[in-house]
Structure 1
Amino acid sequence: MDINDTLCGLLKERGITSVIIKGRQMTDEMVLAMNKLLNGSKICLLELFEAQLQGNKIDVLLHNLHTNITLKILRLPYNDLGIEGIKHLCGSLSINKTLQELSLEGNEIEEESLSLLCSCGPDLCLTSLSLANCNLQPPGGTHIANLLKSNTTLKSLGLPGNELKLEGITPISQALRNNTLLTSLDLSNNLLGVPGINTLCNSLLHNTTLQTLDVASNQIGEGIIEIAQLLVFNKTIQSIGLRDNRPPRKRLTPTLWKFFQLIGNRPTFTTVNIRKNILPGDGEYPSMILTVLKNNYMFHIHQDFVFDRLCSEGFKLFNKMNQVKRASFDWLAHWSTLDSSFQETILFLTLISNKPSSSLSLLTKDTLSHFFSYLIFAMAPRQFNWDNSKIQSLIATYCHYNPQ
């Protein structure tokens, strides 16, 4: 018996539900054996990454997909499927009614192939489709729009890295205007620019189902304000990705300030990703984050918080006081003499530590513990007023993370 058949027989016997093969070329024998595995097994997830499924291999692999009732997730990233592969895939998808998630990431899908795939819209029962990095280009926008108009099941659509630009996002935006199914949309890295984001936002003013939107790496810059104005009226969107939209060598912090001021305290809006939008050493950034978190305790902000400057100052002060023993340190007497430049940072850390379910994940326990250690010894002449309850709260926070 062929070793591939033996392996597939063993997988069936053991009741394996997930098969993931990465970076291995699938021979004709392996593809045939995988086909047999899909027939009558309990496989729910199949991922073949860079398996080189050219020619009729995809047809052989999916020959029994139309009768399969267990496979829920199919991922075929970076397989160079080509027009023939897409044809075979569409033939199976139009019949299969149980597959829920499909990823074709990294397959360069030309317009003819995309048109064929999207024309299956009425027959597709997918709830999630990823066409990331498929080089769809602006003409692909029209076909994606047709899919959104005709399909009745799709809830999540991933289109990052396709250079759709303004020409491609325009028909998609028009389709989203009346779409009542899609809840998650990834448009990151599509060169949308300010005109593209304006077009998208104008359409989403009328959308009442989309909850998650990612427009990272789109050269938006000041267009972030347009998104804020959208969020003022659209109460459905809960999470938005704005990562890496700062123009080269320009500060985006003032724009982000306006963004947060416009959206205000909106309890239904919980997550924003603003990574790679802050220039190193931007002193205004901590104040902005602190203000936002104080005004909305439901808010989670994903951002790399840089402590380099503050920590270096802490080290200098710590070195001056390295003779002070922590055991004999009078906490309440000295907290009020901390340098004011640390005040907002301490409050920021305290807010984080009091939000255990937060998705910030900015700090490890070690980082927080070490930073508080710097602050404890950071004495400076400038004074600021804190009542004892605030000081005791901060001390309790420190003790919680560093009880020794």
Structure 2
Amino acid sequence: IGAAGAISLTEALLNNTTTLEIDLRRNVSGYAAVLGASIQLRNNKTLTTLNLNNSKIDSQDIQLLVTVLINNQTLTTLNLSRNMVDDEGVESLCDALRNNTTLITLNLERNKIGSKGAYYLYNTFQNRKMFRTLSLCGNESNLCALIEMLLTVPEDRVRAELNFTRKCIGNEATLLTLNLQSNKIGDEGAMHLANGLRNNTTLQELGLRENDVGPLGAQYLADVLGENTTLVTLILRDNIISDAGLEHIANALNTNKTLNVLDLSRNKIKASSRRHLINMFQCNQSLINVDLTGNGQGDCAVIGAAVEIRNNQNLTTVNLRCSRLGDEGTKILCQALQVNHSIITLDLQSNDISENGAELLAKVLYDNEKLTTFLLGNNKIGDNGAKCLADAFHSNTVLSILDLSANNIGPIGIGHLSLALCNDTTLIKLDLSSNEVGNEGVQLLANGLNKNMVSTSLSTFLLKLSLQLQ
């Protein structure tokens, strides 16, 4: 029976509800086999096994079957091995089985499934582990072997059986992205992944979030990073690499020139890693996005930001509010700001920055021609810090918004700022709330405003303050 005959049968059997068994396998048309199986599946409410092995079924033929599978809740075994199902067919099959709760055995051996289809299988079923048996061997992508294991092997065996990924990844010529989030691969799994990466020349993104990867696993990956020239993104968020693991990765990044995105957030990295972080900052010129947040140390946040600031010339906004920078962190930040001329908004509120940090920031402001918004509220720069910033304003011609609220600034610091206001032509908003301005400070600011109207908000503030002090 060929395609024409199968279509005629379809028209004849479309409304049939009594036929419980019809075998149309081993015909010229794969559609005929699918038609017979679909009729059985629709009419036989107790059918548990469907065998379509070696039935010449392609991805077009399988569309009829998936329309019946969507609502089926009796089938436990489906054999589609030795057919011609490709990525498109697998995608349709996955969509049909997405909410299925009964199928536990699926055989897709020796079809034409590539990396895209294998990855679609993983994305569809990764959180369900519904299959007792999933067979994907003999397909076009070696990635199928890895996906088969991840979707069937109990989690306590994943660590021990990830060794074959060396073949899956090492020989895979088309795989660009591999996301293994939340699979508990541990250090041993990281070792096998690293071995696979040694021979891989295409993988660009590797996601290993929440996988119990510790210092040893980080070392395995770092050894590969030192040699790899294709990986662009590495996600290791929510692991336990700690200070020792960071040291290995930082050392690898001294030579790696291709990695652009590195996520090491929430990895139990502490203060002892400061030297390695600074070394990474000084040596690596390719990283443009580094996430080190959630590690309980201010240095982590600032160095991650500093790397991005220095290397990403398209970055316009930096938000480091409440990052515990202190003056040491501010020093690292300023080194990056000296070479980046694209930052427009800089938020450093609540960071324990003193007059020493303010002096460093003032040096950045001297020649900066881009920064228009600078938020430094709730720090402790004091009068000396205010003086440093005021001196910088004499040469800065772009800053329009400045927040110096809650900074222990008294009349002396206000005096320096008021002198800067006299000649400033760009500042439109200055926040000095919650300082120690006093009557003397109000008068000094008023004098400055007589020569340069800064902002309505500042004028209103001065009026309210003068009334309170009368």
TM-score, L = length of structure 1: 0.56
Q: Deviations over 1:355-391 (max 9, x none)?
A: 99xxxxxxxxxxx89x56x57x998333342422565
8 Å Cα contact 2:226/2:255 also seen in 1: yes
Alignment of 1:381 onto 2:380? no
1:305 and 1:212 map into 2 onto residues whose CA distance is 23
Paired position in structure 2 for 1:296: 311
Residues 1:66 and 2:88 are matched in the alignment: no
Partner of 1:331 in structure 2?
A: none
- After superposition, the Cα gap between the structure-2 partners of 1:83 and 1:205, relative to the gap in structure 1 and judged at 3 Å, is farther
Sort the Cα spacing of 1:207 and 1:355 in 2 relative to 1 into closer, same or farther, 3 A: farther
Counterpart position of 1:237: 259
Superposed CA deviations along residues 33-64 of structure 1, whole A, max 9, x for unmatched, are xxxxx95999xxxxx9xx99876479599999
In the TM superposition, 1:223-234 aligns within 5 A as 223-234=245-256
Please tell me whether the aligned partners of residues 158 and 185 of structure 2 are also in contact (alpha carbons under 8 angstroms).
yes
User: What fraction of aligned residue pairs are identical, expressed as a percent?
Assistant: 18
Matches within 5 A, 1:166-177: 166-177=187-198
Alpha-carbon displacement from aligned partner over 1:185-204 (angstroms, at most 9, x marks no partner): 11122112111111121133
- Counterpart amino acid of residue 296 in structure 2: I
CA 1:303/1:241 → structure 2, altered by over 3 Å: closer, same or farther? farther
Question: Over residues 381-403 of structure 1, what are the superposed CA-to-partner deviations in whole Å (9 max), with x where a residue is unaligned?
Answer: 33342422565433357879999
Task: Report the 3-state secondary structure (helix = DSSP H, G, I; strand = E; otherwise coil) of the residue aligned with 2:187.
Answer: helix
Match of 2:111?
A: 94
Q: Does 1:340 align with 2:355?
A: yes
For residue 230 of structure 1, report the CA deviation from its aligned partner.
1.1
Q: Structure 1 residue 307 and structure 2 residue 322: aligned?
A: yes
User: Taking structure 1 as reference, are residues 300 and 227 closer, same or farther at Cα in structure 2, changes over 3 Å only?
Assistant: farther
Q: Distance in 2 between matches of 1:57 and 1:226?
A: 48
Q: State the alpha-carbon separation in 1 of the partners of residues 168 and 177 from structure 2.
A: 12
| 8 Å CA contact retained: 1:137, 1:163 | yes
**Superposed displacement of residue 109, structure 1:** 7.4
Deviations 1:205-260 (A, max 9, x none): 3322111111122211111121111111121211111010016xxxx245255224
Summarize the Cα distance change of 1:288–1:160 in structure 2 as closer, same or farther, 3 Å threshold: closer
Q: Which runs of 5+ in 2 are unaligned?
A: 1-13, 15-40, 43-58, 64-68, 326-352, 404-426, 431-454, 457-470
In the alignment, residue 278 of structure 1 is paired with which amino acid? G
Deviations 1:107-166 (A, max 9, x none): 3278974xx44x44644699x989699836202312333321343321111111111112
Tell me the SS of whatever aligns to 1:107: coil
Mapped partners of 1:53, 1:204: distance in 2: 47
- Of the three residues 214, 232, 253, the one matched with 2:235 is 214
8 A Cα contact 2:358 2:388, kept in partner: no
Is the aligned partner of 1:195 residue 2:200?
Answer: no
Cα distance in 2 between the residues matched to 1:109 and 1:188: 22
1:254-312 deviations in Å (ceiling 9; x for gaps): 52552242342644221111121134xx4x567646754664344979998443989xx
Do the aligned residues in 2 keep the contact of 1:272 with 1:301 (CA within 8 Å)?
Answer: no
Aligned CA-pair RMSD: 5.5
Q: Is the 8 A contact 2:187 2:217 kept in 1?
A: yes
CA 172–70 in structure 1, closer or farther in 2 if over 3 Å, else same: closer
Larger CA Rg, structure 1 vs 2: 2
Q: 1:289 to 1:156 in 2, by over 3 A?
A: closer
- Per the alignment, residue 15 of structure 1 pairs with none
Structure 1 residues 112, 227: CA separation in 2 closer, same or farther (over 3 Å shift)? farther
TM-score (norm 2): 0.49
Residue type of the partner of 2:203?
A: L
* Aligned equivalent of 2:105: 84
**Which structure has more RCO (C-alpha within 8 Å, separation ≥ 6)?**
1
